[in-house]
Amino acid sequence: MFGIKADWSLEVFERYFTLDDYGAGGDVRWCSGCGDFSILNTVHRVLRDAQVPPEKSVAVSGIGCSSRMPHYMGTYGFHGLHGRALPIASGIKSRRPDLDVWVATGDGDCFSIGAGPWLHALHQNMDMVVLVFDNGIYGLTKKQTSPTTQQGTKTNTHPRGSILPPLNPLTITLGITNVSFVAQVVDWNPPLLYETIKAAHEHRGLSFVRVLQRCPVFSQEFTKPMQENPDKFVLLEHSEGINIDDNVKRLFSNVVEHDPSDWLGAMKYAKDEVNMPLGILFKDPDAIVYEDHSSVGLGMTNEEKVAGLNAAFDKFSI
Amino acid sequence: MNDQVIKPTEKPQQIAEHIVEIVSDSGEGAQKCGQTFAGICGKMGNGIWTVEIIPAEIQPPARTPAGGSGNRIRMGSKIMTNMGDEADLVVGFNEQVLYARIANGAYKEGTIVLLENKWASDPQEKIREEYTSAVAEFRKNGLIVHELPLEEECLKIVSNARKGKNMFVLGMLCRIYNRNAELGLNEIHNTFKHKGEKIVKPNQDLFNAGYQFAKENLEYFYDIPAYDGAEEVLKNVIITNGNTSLGLGVMAAGMEMISMYPITPATSASHYVADVFHDVGGFVHQAEDEIAAIGFAIGASYAGKTACTITSGPGMALKTEMIGLAVMAEIPLVIVDVQRGGPSTGLPTKVEQSDLLASLYGEPGDAPKIVLAAATIPECFEFVIMARKLAEEFRTPVILLTDANLATGVQPWIRPEIKEEWFSAPVDQSPWNKDIPAYDWDEKTGLSQRPIPGQPDGMYVLTGLSHTERSKVSYNSETNQITSEHRSRKIAALQSTLKPPIVHGVDSQEDEGDLLVVAWGSTIGAIEEAIDVLREQGNKIASLHLRFMSPLEPGLPEIFSRYKKVMTVEINYSDDLNASMITSENRRYAQLANVLRAQFAIDIDCWSVVYGHPLQPGMLIEELTKRLDAVNVN
């Protein structure tokens, strides 16, 4: 197959991957109108454009609607346990830094049952893309309150309206030491979604992307006001951030310059729950990446291992 | 000096074995003294088994029964396999720390107590009174107490006796047991040489003073000859505790990852490995919790680097869901459970064998897996290597059970010769044959090969949901039935490759008798010692020690059929049939007894206790004698 390089010369790739290589074939079984389709297609495009060999990529998930994503990928996949996608993904990366790791999780899976792993994965900052499909509701188990459900929303567990104001995942994420990439985006703006996920994929470290996602069945009231009123958002723009097309920019009345290395500024936008930020809030390319330490000694030969072991045994000789 | 006249003896008295304890407040160095003394005894060709005496707190208050810290050393002219019964000789740095040992049944009438006497003249009246009344009480209970001026003697050499009294005591013990003083001086040199001669010298002086003091003032002078063949063994022996053996096993198995969360008494295995893993290209991951620890290990295993997680009871409870996932999705993984007393937080530092049933049946849903139990310190090493191989071969998690007794017991064992074949093979990254599904179950055995991420054309999505051979989610009733059969069949396939276990104590494996004791895990030393004594008395008794808990080793019903009565001996809880409310209908059996009764429909009895300490051969001989009498009466 052939690919076109930027300088228009023809380069022959040994293998060239098309979108089909990143899909699993067969039906994708989310509800009609679900925002997950858009995220899935975008991930396929980002992988295609990066030409990551499908066998080198692993999609890891927990439990929930979001977590069906690996089943719709033509890569390796691991559909794990509720709330536990991140430790599994981290374990995969720990001794296989050559693998390209993606995590699909949801607001219940990540912010509720997976809250512990969420914080520690951010702290460890292993090189992976973490996409939180946040629809502000438990969908797969049929409409229970999630940590990001809007206050007053009637759910099956809170029929008189959810009691607490929603948890703010962005301020929590930004508050973790060694966090290296925080972004927020919506599923219904494909160019913005593409640029955000692409930037997340290119970043070395844990890229946390909260995708505000439509659930047409259980939580229309979560995203509908946002869809109908783009002025509720503040679009973050910067040369170190994402490349935003003018056509996209035109949709938003609030576009601001925000340097993603400015943590305090990021926190300010993250905290604004009336005018929510879109784009890259924070990026630190210098944060410690845990697998640089956990993968120590890869490639050591058996001879070296035997020598190391013998030295270990020597210490217990009498 | 005290009320007993002590005459120095010129010629040592030959004895076959002795148990010595050195107990002090935390931080006074009794442990160092005990370890060094045990090392010297080992080098002189004695069999040794040492047990750490550990206080529950890091810095317990001084002069309290709960604060005792030190070592028990059992040494003799044979290979030692357990901690034995009551101690023969004890060195106490104060009288209070001995109370906890007495409460544990560690001493007997006639135990010699060499006790620091400085407390008799302490400025505080309360301490003087405590000391005087304790000494009187010890004597009343039959202990032979010698009040010795340890502090006073040490102060002749150093200004602070708190640092160094242990070396004075080491010198005393070396004289009492006629040990080669050069070995002691060398040990001190090796221990302190990095601190320079100004530290080595006073410690060696203290050692010499202790040696001389014992020679001039104590009547005790023993000699414990080396065991037969010791000279040959000593050429190639190492001394470790069971947790260090586990750690060495992880490295020798070629595993590159321990993923753990701190929990007593398992953690020291990871401490050891963390220190040296670098040298063999591995990494200890400290996870945020027990669940994340096993999740991380599962991730590494899925990606082709079979990993190990090491924990104890409460950690096992938390890992349950992940173990179920590893069974369902057939992920190779080694899970080590260093058992402690339970349930719940229970007895963190003490031994119990209470996690057998939880290991076998702990997961909701049917979750067959391999469960092994190491019985000895060398097996802690060997079984990790076996566990990794079985995990990969049978594509399953393997639980390896050890316990707090093995974890902290120290014993010499033959240094193994490292074999490269123990290591895991490099991760296969060659193209996978597209026609072979991710779970290509063999109809007969349930076994299959797995694709590893990175292998072209092997792409599949692992899931904990019921799945087809192509790992596609399937709620089809037929699929669930068949895949359950396949997972179970693997365990049977493993069983078909095992050999029947060897009956201990018998002249021939066709032996018949009155009573067969069946057991597992760290109790082997005490049980086999008791069996040997009872057989020497003419009893028709034997024992059988199981290493495979799932699957069970083959041939058990046939072996059981040759004995009039079969019972298990375990350190987990069971009801005593004579206890209040207990009847044959509601009696709860010990855990292995439960498994064997259920599997074989044979009326297997049991005797088990949960005192938190290892079995003592003496206690066992007493109980088994009663059982033998009952068999012969009926």
Q: What pLDDT, in 10s, does the model give residues A144-184?
A: 999 999 999 999 999 999 999 999 999 999 999 999 999 99
Q: State how far residue B500 is from chain A, nearest Cα, in angstroms.
A: 32
Residue with tokens 């010692």: B529
* A55–B454 C-beta distance less than 8 A: yes
Percent of chain A residues topping a pLDDT of 90: 92
Predicted pLDDT of residue B60 = 87
Residue type, B340: R
- Residue of A305, A310, A314 for testing the chain B interface, max B β-carbons within 10 Å: A305
Structure tokens at B522: 């760290």
Is it the case that residue B118 has pLDDT exceeding 70? yes
Predicted pLDDT of residue A12 = 64
* A84–B292 C-beta distance less than 8 A: yes
Among A12-26, A115-129, A232-246, which range has the highest average pLDDT? A115-129
Q: Which residues in chain A are contacts of B472 at CB distance < 8 A?
A: 71
What average pLDDT does this structure show over B434-438?
Answer: 97
Q: How far apart are CA B235 and CA B265, in angstroms?
A: 31
Fold that domain B503-633 belongs to in CATH: Rossmann fold (3.40.50)
Is it the case that residue B146 has pLDDT exceeding 90? yes
Q: Which residues in chain B are contacts of A91 at CB distance < 8 A?
A: 257, 259, 285, 295-303, 307
* A95–B295 C-beta distance less than 8 A: no
Which of A:90-129 have CB within 8 Å of B?
90-96, 98-99, 116-117, 119-120
Predicted pLDDT of residue B67 = 87
Q: What pLDDT, in 10s, does the model give residues B156-174?
A: 999 988 889 999 999 999 9
Q: Which residues in chain B are contacts of A94 at CB distance < 8 A?
A: 257, 283, 285, 296, 299-300
Domains of chain A, start order: 18-314 (3.40.50.970)
Is it the case that residue B281 has pLDDT exceeding 70? yes
Phi-psi region of A161 (alpha: psi -120 to 50; beta: other; left: phi over 0): left
Q: Which residues in chain B are contacts of A297 at CB distance < 8 A?
A: 256, 277-278, 280-283
Structure tokens at B242: 């069971």
Dihedral Cα B375, B376, B381, B384, nearest 10 deg:
0
pLDDT band at B202, cuts 50/70/90?
very high
Q: What pLDDT, in 10s, does the model give residues A177-206?
A: 999 999 999 999 999 999 999 999 999 999
**Sign of CA pseudo-dihedral A72, A78, A82, A87:** negative
- Chain A and chain B share a number of CB contacts under 8 A equal to 195
Q: State how far residue B288 is from chain A, nearest Cα, in angstroms.
A: 7
Is it the case that residue B2 has pLDDT exceeding 50? no
What average pLDDT does this structure show over B193-208?
Answer: 94
Q: What pLDDT, in 10s, does the model give residues B541-583?
A: 999 999 999 999 999 999 999 999 999 999 999 999 999 999 9
**Higher-scoring residue by pLDDT: B6, B482:** B482
Residue with tokens 């074989």: B600
- Residue of B50, B237, B296, B421 for testing the chain A interface, max A β-carbons within 10 Å: B296
pLDDT band at A10, cuts 50/70/90?
low
Query: Coil, helix or strand for B42?
Result: helix
Percent of chain B residues topping a pLDDT of 90: 92
> Which CATH code fits B239-416?
3.40.50.970
The answer, for A312 touching chain B at a CB cutoff of 8 Å, is: yes
Q: Which residues in chain A are contacts of B467 at CB distance < 8 A?
A: none
- Smallest CA-to-CA distance from A69 within A114, A39, A96 is with A39
Distance, C-alpha B110 to centroid of its chain: 29
Structure tokens at B165: 């009294």
Specify the range with the lowest mean pLDDT, choosing from B6-15, B195-204, B326-335, B496-505.
Answer: B6-15
Predicted pLDDT of residue B57 = 78
Predicted pLDDT of residue A7 = 55
Q: Which residues in chain A are contacts of B365 at CB distance < 8 A?
A: none
How high does pLDDT run on average in chain B?
Answer: 95
Is it the case that residue B588 has pLDDT exceeding 60? yes
The answer, for A79 touching chain B at a CB cutoff of 8 Å, is: yes
How high does pLDDT run on average in chain A?
Answer: 95
Same fold, B13-229 and B503-633: no
Q: Which sequence spans correspond to the domains of chain B?
A: 13-229, 239-416, 431-497, 503-633
- Smallest CA-to-CA distance from B30 within B14, B47, B52 is with B52
Predicted pLDDT of residue B7 = 60
- Residue of B180, B271, B459, B473 for testing the chain A interface, max A β-carbons within 10 Å: B459
What average pLDDT does this structure show over B518-540?
Answer: 97
Q: Which residues in chain A are contacts of B295 at CB distance < 8 A?
A: 80-81, 84, 87-88, 91, 117
Predicted pLDDT of residue B437 = 98
Residue pair A136/A109 in contact (Cβ under 8 Å)? The answer is: no
Residue B633: burial class (beta carbons within 10 Å; 0-12, 13-18, 19+): exposed
Specify the range with the lowest mean pLDDT, choosing from B22-31, B294-303, B310-319.
Answer: B22-31
Q: What pLDDT, in 10s, does the model give residues B316-359?
A: 999 999 999 999 999 999 999 999 999 999 999 899 999 999 99
Which residues lie below 8 Å from residue B509, measured CB to CB, with a gap of 6+? B502, B503
Predicted pLDDT of residue A71 = 97
Residue type, B221: F
* B463–A79 C-beta distance less than 8 A: yes
Predicted pLDDT of residue B10 = 77
Predicted pLDDT of residue A6 = 54
Residue B498: burial class (beta carbons within 10 Å; 0-12, 13-18, 19+): middle
pLDDT band at A1, cuts 50/70/90?
very low
- Smallest CA-to-CA distance from B186 within B44, B90, B47, B27 is with B44
Is it the case that residue A290 has pLDDT exceeding 90? yes
CATH of B13-229, one of 3.40.50.720, 3.40.50.300, 3.40.920.10, 2.60.120.10: 3.40.920.10
What average pLDDT does this structure show over B36-48?
Answer: 94
Among A234-248, B1-15, B21-35, B539-553, which range has the highest average pLDDT? B539-553
Predicted pLDDT of residue B66 = 87
Which of A:153-182 have CB within 8 Å of B?
none
SS3 letters for B215-238? HHHCCCCEECCCCCCHHHHHCCEE
Is it the case that residue A288 has pLDDT exceeding 50? yes
pLDDT band at B54, cuts 50/70/90?
confident
Predicted pLDDT of residue B633 = 84
Q: How far apart are CA B608 and CA B13, in angstroms?
A: 38
